[in-house]
Amino acid sequence: MPLSPYDIPPQENKGKWFRSHLLGREIELGELYSLASNDLDLLMAETAEIRSDLDFKEKNIGKFRTAGYFLELARIIEKRRLLDN
């Protein structure tokens, strides 16, 4: 169930993006609300892997933090979808 742009908080409409290798493209933060469940699962798996690699944190703190934000928001969205069904 895609949400309208008005349902997405303004701070999530900023140009924050994550380059997903599993999805083969860049994902904007606001796109998380309209991703299909399978794509959301892949994104959560990919970002969880990045967050679990503490050596990567030292190499690329920006991507490590961005992955954490995307992972947490994806978890929130997934929980809401499960509650709505």
Q: What pLDDT tens digit does each residue of the chain (85 aa) get?
A: 454 444 656 655 566 789 999 999 999 988 999 999 999 999 999 999 999 998 988 899 889 989 999 999 999 999 999 998 7
- In which residue are the tokens 């904007």 written? 28
Q: Which two tokens stand for residue 4?
A: 């309208």
pLDDT of residue 21: 95
Q: What are phi and psi of 81, to 5 degrees?
A: -65, -40
What global pTM score does this model have? 0.78
Beta bridge partners of 18: 27
Q: Which two tokens stand for residue 23?
A: 């999805």
Q: Which SS3 state, helix, strand or coil, does residue 2 take?
A: coil
pLDDT of residue 1: 47
